[in-house]
């Protein structure tokens, strides 16, 4: 399997979404998973196999695209039309590809296991980030 293929223009928050504003610290596309860098307070791409511990602790999913220094909104929890085809009832995890979201089959040896959310339908992901502290 592979990371879900997200169409950024189709990423839309649901009515129950908890949204947080901030500033991008890298080039980010809507639908990518981000963490907040404690050093500068900016959002950067999360990564399940990063050498940086903070990058393996995502804060949310970007709702818009932004470059370094530009405003960025993220969904912390709640429903998001993710802009990709997902399988209802399937759990999705932080990918070892920076910013990516993947099914569990793509979480490999050396990756941190971080649940991003559960698909409620073929297009809606219920975001509920759970950092397990487990490394495969």
Has residue 67 been placed in a domain? yes
Output the domain CATH number for residue 92.
2.40.300
Has residue 114 been placed in a domain? yes
- List phi, psi (to 5°) of 27: -80, 120
pLDDT digits (tens, 9 = 90+) for 47-83: 999 888 999 999 999 999 999 999 999 999 999 999 9
**How many domains in the chain?**
1
Has residue 2 been placed in a domain? no
Has residue 78 been placed in a domain? yes
Domain that holds residue 40: 8-135
Has residue 55 been placed in a domain? yes
pLDDT digits (tens, 9 = 90+) for 91-122: 999 999 999 999 988 888 888 899 999 999 99
Predicted structure pTM score: 0.94
């Amino acid at each position: 399997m592979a990371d879900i293929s997200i169409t950024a223009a189709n990423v839309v928050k649901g009515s129950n979404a908890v949204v947080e504003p901030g500033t991008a610290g890298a080039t980010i596309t809507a639908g990518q998973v981000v963490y907040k860098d404690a050093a500068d307070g900016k959002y950067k791409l999360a990564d399940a196999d990063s050498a940086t511990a903070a990058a393996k602790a995502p804060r949310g999913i970007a709702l818009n695209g932004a470059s370094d220094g530009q405003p960025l909104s993220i969904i912390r929890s709640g429903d998001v039309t993710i802009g990709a085809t997902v399988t209802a009832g399937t759990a999705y995890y932080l990918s070892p590809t920076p910013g990516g979201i993947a099914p569990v089959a793509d979480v490999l040896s050396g990756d941190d296991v971080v649940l991003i959310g559960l698909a409620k339908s073929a297009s809606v992901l219920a975001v509920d980030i759970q950092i397990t502290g487990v490394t495969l």
